[in-house]
Amino acid sequence: MELLSQDLPPVEIVGKQLIHRVLFALAVLIAALAGSLGGLFLVYSTDLPQVEELESYRPSSVTEVYDDQGRVIGSFALQRRVVASYSDYPPVLWQALISIEDKDFYRHWGVNVWRTFGAAYRDIESGGKVQGASTLTMQLARNLFLSPDRSFHRKIQETLLAIQIEHRFTKQQILTLYANQIYLGHGVYGFEAASEYYFSKPAKQLTLEEASLLAALPKSPVYYSPIVHPDRALKRRNLVINGMLEDGKITAQRAVAARETPLGLDLAHDLNSLAPYFVENIRRYLENKYGSDRVHEGGLRVYTSLDVDMQRAARKAVLDGLAAYEKRQGWKGHLENVVDEGAELKTYENPDWDDEAEVGDYIHALVTAASGNSAVIKFGRYSAEMTSADSAWTRRKISEILKPGDVVYVKILSLAANGRASVDLEQDSGAQGALVAIDNGTGEIKAMVGGRDFNESKFNRATEALRQVGSSFKPYVYTAAIDKGARPDDTIVDEPVAFQTESGPYIPHNYEENFEGTITLRRALAQSLNIPALKLANNMGIQTVIDYARRFGISSPLPPYLPVALGAAGVSVLEQTSAYSVFPDDGVRIVPRDILKVSDYEGRVLEEDYPDVKDVISARTARLMTSMLQSVVEHGTGVAASSLKLPLAGKTGTTNNFTDAWFIGFSPSTTCGAWIGYDEQKSLGPRETGARAALPVWMDFMKAALAGKDPGAFQPPPELPPNPVAQKLDKADDAAPEEEAR
């Protein structure tokens, strides 16, 4: 027994040995853990992006298009983003964002350890993937460098990147990067772009309620969309407000008032909708020169010639002119019916509804109910009841012409906050219109309308369509004659005449089927008589007339036969309008231009355009022709324009069978061309001349464009020496016109 007791170690010895063993085990565990972490670090950091890239990082940003006053008229982007600085955002937005997304943002070093462990424990316990607990810095790392998948691998990389970002950048810089990068729904990236989209204001002007709504969106922009799910968005916004109250950023009284405030959305209109055909021209040019990637991601600044106010006037003039034409033609019906096509009334959406409606707009609407003398229609979030008074021009009962499911064309007369509207029934039979306005002094295109509805047809009838111009071609004939020595008071005989052709004799006639006998050139042009124009062209040779048209800038094909003198050739509205600007410009042509300057993201000028001036005719000829074209307005086919009491001149144009109606005219400052017709060679209807269909459009535009401005005055024509015996210009032979024009 004594020997056995001596072999047992004392308690102290046993304790020390146990401690040594525990310490050794801990050392091994720590070494293993360190090795594992080191190995993990090596594994997950081998393909880790370089955070240093952020120092020169610039996110994809919007290319903006401006009018001549610096107002935005369009934009191009893959991601709708406006890059802003830290000071561009109000403190209330930062407070709201931090309260809901990362309360410890200013205290952590990129990772909130306790939140991460807590989230990981919950995920392991539930068997789900690693998620949650991301700081703003981790969200930034994920959005900039990583895929959106929720995996352990991505979470480790996200953490490592966040630590690096925090080490290299200040908190303000991190917030700014985050604010410019985060997706906030409906194609919008960054809080500045979101503020402009949801509230039509810059972020600096955000209120508490508005800032809280934007801060609510990063969690799930689709689920909390204030447009699609306003109830969810409201609850989430109020949660942000509660978080700010808990953090002591706002008072209880202010929180209560904010929670009771409606969402208050003021959605921005589609910038490209005001001048879509003009903006599309700009896009095509830029992509051709700079490439699609640079245009849609490079944040270019494009300064154009367009004038927003004149563009609005042009758009209204064309649409009102088409509406007046449609009503003259009477109700045609043949409406699209979505029910017949298998769609449901509740789910139907029209492209016209993508943009916020405005009073005065013409829009397609859906008939949801119709009976007796009334019908209920809807467009977007608005509905309206139409009565017989709103469709009186059809001379039919509403129930006879409309049924549920019909897609009708209406003009918006009023809009109420409660979603009620009042409208007039209109008609869209397919007739189209185009208008171009040019500043005489600079050649700058101030307005362009390429059709009735860009959503339905992207074809630009102002630049791409070559339409027969009718009698609006005749000024080139008279210009050639005046330039070669003729005078406005020289005479010519308007009488039946035969032109010999290879196919035999041809006897042309005037629009009114009458002949005026001996008349002056001034009157022949003012009354748009065909025979005198043909005689002049035949005497000089049609090639001479074509050569003059070329000098005016007409580049479209002009076949060398006599009917071209009456406008039997296709010319674009832009070409014809630009050509007419030669007259008020004293014989000088300034090549039309739409882009004035393009600069890159840093403000470096990439290109700058200056007027390209070309001599066309003498000032004497230009002033005499201007005087003759004034006679068209004073007592000729364009006499209706004399009611504007402005210095105006111009020429009507009507083609055979009334397929095209034109008026091209000018004031001392502005030249404008208007055209009405169908895309196919279809008659507008009996007596739908340039004076009846196109001139009212031109007048409406010019009245609005020149309102409140000094109209100026035309240069007086030169005094001509006495002409006791006016020259008689009379001769005819060889070619036959195929178009009768007026």
Domain CATH for 410: 2.40.50.140
- Are the CB atoms for 149 and 128 separated by under 8 Å? no
Residue 413 has pLDDT above 50, yes or no: yes
Most confidently predicted of 103-112, 131-140, 362-371, 670-679: 670-679
* Residue 200 region by backbone torsions, left for phi larger than 0, else alpha for psi between -120 and 50, else beta: left
Identified catalytic residue from 99, 471, 572, 578: 471
Residue 223 is part of a domain; what is its CATH number?
A: 1.10.3810.10
Identified catalytic residue from 61, 75, 101, 528: 101
Query: What value does the mean pLDDT take over residues 156-160?
Result: 76
pLDDT cut 90: percent of the chain above it: 64
Residue 101 is a catalytic residue = yes
Q: How confident is the model at residue 297 (pLDDT cuts 50, 70, 90)?
A: confident
Same domain as 250, residue 103: yes
Residue 612 placed within a domain? no
Residue 270 has pLDDT above 90, yes or no: no
Same domain as 134, residue 26: no
Residue 317 placed within a domain? no
Q: In 330-432, where does DSSP find H-type helix? A: 398-401
Residues whose CB is less than 8 angstroms from the CB of residue 555 and which lie 6 or more positions away in sequence, other chains included: 575
User: What's the token pair of residue 583?
Assistant: 């007259």
* C-alpha–C-alpha distance, residues 630 and 639, integer Å: 10
When mean pLDDT is compared across 26-30, 104-108, 161-165, the lowest value belongs to 26-30
* C-alpha–C-alpha distance, residues 568 and 680, integer Å: 16
- Are the CB atoms for 556 and 578 separated by under 8 Å? no
Most confidently predicted of 118-122, 153-157, 486-490: 486-490
Residue 18 placed within a domain? yes
User: If you search the block for the tokens 């060679």, which residue do you land on?
Assistant: 681
Residue 182 placed within a domain? yes
Residue 118 has pLDDT above 70, yes or no: no
Q: How confident is the model at residue 50 (pLDDT cuts 50, 70, 90)?
A: low
Residue 313 placed within a domain? no
Q: Hey, what's the torsion of the CAs at 438, 363, 425, 373, to 10 degrees?
A: -170
- Are the CB atoms for 585 and 668 separated by under 8 Å? no
* C-alpha–C-alpha distance, residues 97 and 92, integer Å: 9
Q: How confident is the model at residue 164 (pLDDT cuts 50, 70, 90)?
A: confident
Query: What value does the mean pLDDT take over residues 593-599?
Result: 97
Coil, strand or helix at 352: helix
Same domain as 238, residue 121: yes
Same domain as 252, residue 116: yes
Residue 391 placed within a domain? yes
- Give the pLDDT confidence of 426-483 residue by residue, as tens digits: 999 999 999 999 999 999 999 999 999 998 999 999 999 999 999 999 999 999 999 9
Per-residue model confidence (pLDDT) at position 56: 58
Residue 69 has pLDDT above 60, yes or no: yes
Per-residue model confidence (pLDDT) at position 167: 81
Query: What value does the mean pLDDT take over residues 210-226?
Result: 94
Instruction: Provide the domain count of the chain.
Output: 3
- Give the pLDDT confidence of 73-91 residue by residue, as tens digits: 999 887 788 888 999 999 9
Q: How confident is the model at residue 288 (pLDDT cuts 50, 70, 90)?
A: very high
Element (H, E) at 154: helix 152-168
Residue 471 is a catalytic residue = yes
Strands 301-304 and 63-66 come out as parallel
Per-residue model confidence (pLDDT) at position 737: 38
Same domain as 203, residue 152: yes
Q: How confident is the model at residue 269 (pLDDT cuts 50, 70, 90)?
A: confident
Number of H helices, E strands in the chain: 22, 25
- Are the CB atoms for 272 and 279 separated by under 8 Å? yes
Same domain as 198, residue 85: yes
Same domain as 233, residue 165: yes
Residue 108 has pLDDT above 90, yes or no: no
Residue 33 has pLDDT above 70, yes or no: no
Q: How confident is the model at residue 4 (pLDDT cuts 50, 70, 90)?
A: very low
Look at 29 and 713; give whichever has higher pLDDT: 713
User: What's the token pair of residue 338?
Assistant: 């979505």
Same domain as 37, residue 87: no
When mean pLDDT is compared across 138-152, 405-419, 551-565, 703-717, the lowest value belongs to 138-152
Same domain as 103, residue 27: no
SS3 content of the chain, % helix, strand, coil (to 5): 45, 20, 40
Residue that terminates a domain, selected from 426, 458, 479: 426
User: What's the token pair of residue 319?
Assistant: 């649409």
* C-alpha–C-alpha distance, residues 208 and 211, integer Å: 5
Q: Hey, what's the torsion of the CAs at 690, 695, 696, 697, to 10 degrees?
A: 100
Q: Hey, what's the torsion of the CAs at 359, 362, 364, 366, to 10 degrees?
A: 40
When mean pLDDT is compared across 28-32, 43-47, 678-682, the lowest value belongs to 43-47
* C-alpha–C-alpha distance, residues 261 and 264, integer Å: 8
Query: What value does the mean pLDDT take over residues 411-439?
Result: 95
Coil, strand or helix at 168: helix
Total Cβ atoms within 10 A of residue 18? 10
Query: What value does the mean pLDDT take over residues 92-116?
Result: 84
User: What's the token pair of residue 29?
Assistant: 């565990």
Residue that terminates a domain, selected from 426, 449, 482: 426
Residue that terminates a domain, selected from 259, 284, 317: 259
Residue 178 placed within a domain? yes
Per-residue model confidence (pLDDT) at position 17: 64
Going by C-alpha positions, the residue among 6, 204, 165 that lies closest to residue 87 is 204
- Give the pLDDT confidence of 141-154 residue by residue, as tens digits: 877 765 555 555 55
pTM summary value: 0.82
- The average confidence (pLDDT) of the chain is 87
Same domain as 228, residue 85: yes
Separation in Å, CA 261 to CA 228, 535, 598:
19, 76, 43
Residues whose CB is less than 8 angstroms from the CB of residue 335 and which lie 6 or more positions away in sequence, other chains included: 402, 406, 407, 408
Same domain as 245, residue 101: yes
Query: What value does the mean pLDDT take over residues 528-535?
Result: 95
Coil, strand or helix at 319: helix
Query: What value does the mean pLDDT take over residues 403-410?
Result: 95
Q: Which residues pair with 613 in a beta bridge?
A: 590
Per-residue model confidence (pLDDT) at position 549: 98
Domain of 357, in residue numbers: 331-426
Residue 248 burial (10 A CB sphere; 0-12, 13-18, 19+):
exposed
Residue 723 has pLDDT above 50, yes or no: yes
Strands 670-677 and 432-439 come out as antiparallel
Residue 238 placed within a domain? yes
Same domain as 237, residue 114: yes
Separation in Å, CA 79 to CA 8, 65, 270:
79, 16, 15
Element (H, E) at 424: strand 420-426
